[in-house]
A and B are shown apart, each in its own frame.
With several copies, the nearest count.
Chain A
Amino acid sequence: MTENPRKLTRKDFASDQEVRWCPGCGDYAILAAIQRTLPKLGATTENTVFVSGIGCSSRFPYYMNTYGFHTIHGRAPTFATGLKITRPELDVWVITGDGDGLSIGGNHLLHVLRRNVNLQIILFNNQIYGLTKGQYSPTSDVGQVSPSTPLGSIDQPVVPVRVALGANAKFVARGYDVSKKLPELLEQAHAFPGAALVEVLQNCPVFNDGVFDLITDRKKGPQHQLWVEHGKPMITADGKKGLRLDPKTMQLELVELGEGGVSEDELFVHDETNRSIAWMLSDLPEVKALGVLYREPDAPVYDDGVRAQVEMAQEKAGGSDLAALLRSGHTWEV
């Protein structure tokens, strides 16, 4: 790194490649959010790497003036793992889609999360395969009509953050493409030492336009958004409703706040270190929980562990080298 680093701006992180997403694609907003966030984090272009799979979303690295690797379908977390554990000083981001990360790549996502490799993993969820022209994905709703499901899909979808929790992920968050809070979420993901999964609801105006309208609509959205914050009661973004727990049935119910309704004290309070709460928030019926659902601050980081073992072994062995290795054990002279 240079001694007197020039203060970088959003523009420094934009590559010279023309952005080739469809007009109106939610990917633009996410790109802008990331380009805006990186300078704030003090990131440098040379020590930042974006690794992606295949999909519309996975074209992302081409648009970043950083190091980048557009790999193969579904495997981005594995390339990132190899890179990160050999080059821990690099700041590695993984970009994936709902098909890339949860269909063909579901297993790698599971394992990178459980290992807790220090990466930011941004999953663009548009509930569709954009790049291959509109087939349903593992997050598509039942009944989704698509070229491969002309009579509607019968596959029950997975919920990305729930898959992550099932994998014992240590940082799980959710936002959406055009949200003003997205940069802040990205910052938190970046600050987390370990694998930080951020699901971003993303609109695909071409093949799945408006699937998230209920949540992202400027007007009606706020009543369906539940931005959670550690230690705070759970209230929808319009301030009108909140979540209350019935501990007997273990069901969460959405209740009216204010006059005639319940008071804030009765509401469920978010504890981002409690995995059960994160789980309960993962798939609520009427509202979408957003923000950091779960964070396990002191979880051991995989790449740290790898280095620690190497260092320990080196210390213990003292000056052992290849020549010594070849002569270890029984040898004899002829």
Chain B
Amino acid sequence: MSTATKDVKREELESVVIRFAGDSGDGMQLTGSQFTSATAMMGNDLATFPDFPAEIRAPAGTTYGVSGFQIHFADHDILTPGDAPDVLVAMNPAALKVNLPTLKKGGLLIVNTDAFTKNNLKKAGYESNPLEDDSLAPYRLLALEITRMTRAAVTEFNLGAKAADRSKNMWTLGLMFWLFGRDRQPTVDWLKKKFAKKPEIAEANIAALNAGHIYGETAELPSTVGVYQVPSADLPPGTYRNIDGNQATAWGLVAGAQLAGLPLFYGSYPITPASSLLHNLAKLKHLGVVTFQAEDEIAAVCAAIGASFGGSVGVTGTSGPGVALKGEAIGLAIATELPLVICDVQRGGPSTGLPTKTEQSDLFQAVYGRNGDAPLVVLAAATPGDCFYMAIEAVRLATKYMTPVMLLTDGYIANGAEPWPIPDVSKLEPFPVKFHEGPSEGFQPFLRRDDGTHARVWVKPGTPGLEHRIGGLEKAADSGNISYDPDNHHAMTKLRAEKVRGVADDVPAASLDQGEAGGELLVVGWGSTYGSIKQAVERVRKGGRKVAHLHLRNIWPLPNGLKELLEGFDQVMVPEMNDGQLARLLRGELLVDAVPFSKIAGQPFRISELVTEIERRLGDAAPRESSPEVRA
């Protein structure tokens, strides 16, 4: 079976955004990820955004059961899964209902007409059939009997209607492969492997895939349907793979522990969207990783601290509600000065909030959310691939400074994938940990290292002669014994703060990601908004405005030189998927009039939203003024 595509003339596009949407049962995530793999192998740059239904399987056909997967691929460096899709695949009325509003006018719309039954239309809340009224006129509609055609393609395998229908996503994928000139072979291989024990299922799916592809080749599609080909992106040369954020974080933690020369312990309690961190690490036992599914988040973090006490890199991962539970224990790690990495894969809050939606609203909790003066290091990853490096950095700082480090990612980069140039592991800088081993005379557990870090020594239990006790009560700066002395407490509080603040001297000083120092407006971002901001600033700069982009990876302490950089601009705008948390932090720390731009919608910023807002702010070139958002 040949998987090569016929040599048709294809319209060349700089970039395409495709959205696959269907019922939870329609296999859209799978379709999306196969399309992604195939696209990555074509050398396109890409970004994806899976958009799950909330938590529980919803009844088939309802709007809240719609599962979506968006992919943006291009011939140039891209960073977001895109705003409005160019192509929408809607497998049923509910998928159409939910997603049509985002489809570009004139965009390509592929629907499975077989799913447009009366019942489904009603469940989706349609009064009349959109395929039959005028409402789809603005789009290039490709209405196909996908179910029927799939059934036909697989009859020979005698699967029964249900199983047969499950292949319709492959039919659709086959069609899309044809439309965008992707290679079917990897998907064929993957199907064979996945259904190795049920070869008839594999064959049926392959048959459906091919049928869809063939349909594309042979059907007389209406003239409005173009055939696209996106040329390869101009990515730096190297070996690439797809990686999502949680996978990258997991692997980064493993890399970090190896660079530190220590075993990795990961304690966690499942929670969306952090669970796959645990799942990823649980698969790495062959690399010596120990994972522990604890009875709750408190047990998870405490077990990690126990492991750190024993000389491992103790890590715990969770999402916002879990971090809330871990606060007391994190305080203990601060007081006892033990390394600890806490991964917070943020989701919509407050409370249970929107578990499957993304948000950046745990920044305050990360920096301030504990009793007492309890400083720690807070880092934020900007892209899925960046998670790998930030996880390494988290391990480095935790072990070097004997401190908890909170690594903030979010549902968006945790689930989103991007092509990732695989680093040469041997070129990563090691930071081996040296445990303190003596002498036992004069030894005190809170002895400070003489490396300027203010970090205390780390002694592994089992070391003869250095037996000692630690705990959460305040301890004397010198002996480490419990101390109720007033001046000592003052000094120790300052020392803990100073130690964490000192990290600023050990990380890159603040610098612009784009643009020149000084200008009209600086956009300061952090975390997963990186891609949208970068592109938005690019667009505005093309218009000749003096706009720049600075993306913070070090949230606490803030990097050196930040105040000076910010003060160089007339305006500072801080787009965040929260109610202005970083903006408030910057104002308080730097006394700079950073003005938030909030989107708290469980969804990433659209580039166009940012462009509009930047231009609005530039437009009224009035003197700086505090936004009403942050008045008291």
Contacts and interface: CB of A to CB of B under 8 A. Distances in A.
B472 A79 contact: no
B40 interface: yes
A135 B241 CA distance: 27
Which 6 interchain pairs have the tightest Cβ spacing? A82-B306, A70-B471, A82-B303, A317-B286, A68-B469, A79-B306
A250 interface: no
Interface in B23-44: 37, 40-41, 43
B239 A332 contact: yes
B239 A132 contact: no
Contact of A83 (B270, B300, B307, B469): B307
Nearest to A322: B425
A65 B467 contact: yes
B226 interface: no
A314 B288 contact: yes
Nearest to A106: B295
A279 B73 CA distance: 62
Contacts of A67: 461-462, 467-469
A70 B332 CA distance: 10
Contact of A334 (B186, B236, B336): B236
A18 B59 contact: yes
A330 interface: yes
A188 interface: no
B367 to A, nearest CB: 21
Nearest to B482: A62
B328 A72 contact: yes
Interface string A312-334: 11101100111101110111111
Nearest to A114: B295
Nearest to A18: B59
B287 A82 contact: no
Interface string A149-192: 11100010000000000000000000000000000000000000
Interface residues of B, number: 96
B239 A86 contact: no
A91 to B, nearest CB: 10
Given A67-B469, A82-B304, A310 B293 contact: no
A317 B297 CA distance: 31
Given A20-B58, A70-B472, A82-B267, A135 B304 contact: no
A47 interface: yes
Interface in B248-307: 251, 254-255, 258, 263, 265, 267, 269-272, 275-276, 278-279, 282-300, 302-307
Interface stretch (B131-139, B308-316, B566-574): B308-316
A326 B238 CA distance: 13
B458 to A, nearest CB: 13
Given A87-B462, A330-B41, A334-B236, A78 B265 contact: no
Contacts of A75: 298-299, 302, 329
B87 to A, nearest CB: 23
Interface in B305-342: 305-312, 314, 321, 328-329, 332, 336
Contacts, number: 266
Q: Is the interface of B mostly helix, strand, loop or mixed?
A: mixed
A15 B479 CA distance: 14
Nearest to A67: B461
Contacts of B309: 69, 79, 82-83
Given A70-B471, A81-B306, A86-B265, A325 B481 contact: no
B238 A333 contact: yes
Given A20-B59, A85-B265, A129-B270, 16 more contacts: A18-B59, A18-B62, A21-B56, A46-B461, A79-B303, A79-B305, A82-B310, A103-B296, A104-B269, A147-B278, A313-B286, A317-B286, A320-B287, A325-B251, A330-B40, A332-B43
Interface in A282-334: 306, 309-310, 312-314, 316-317, 320-323, 325-327, 329-334
Contacts of A151: 285
B307 A329 contact: no
B75 to A, nearest CB: 12
Interface string A52-91: 0010100101101111111111110011111111110110
A82 B292 contact: yes
A321 to B, nearest CB: 7
B255 A322 contact: yes
Contacts of B272: 132
Contacts of B461: 46-47, 49, 67, 83, 87, 90
A325 B258 CA distance: 13
A83 B290 CA distance: 12
11 contacts: A47-B461, A56-B56, A65-B467, A67-B462, A72-B328, A82-B305, A85-B290, A85-B292, A130-B56, A135-B293, A138-B295
Contacts of A320: 286-287
A103 B236 contact: no
Nearest to B329: A72
Contacts of A138: 295
B302 A71 contact: yes
Given A22-B57, A70-B473, A111-B295, A334 B306 contact: no
Nearest to A80: B306
B351 interface: yes
Contacts of A72: 302, 321, 328-329, 332, 351-352, 472
Contacts of A130: 56
A84 B58 CA distance: 32
B302 A86 contact: no
Contacts of B254: 322, 325
B59 A78 contact: no
Contacts of B40: 330, 332
A103 B251 CA distance: 28
Contacts of A148: 270, 275, 278-279, 282, 291, 293
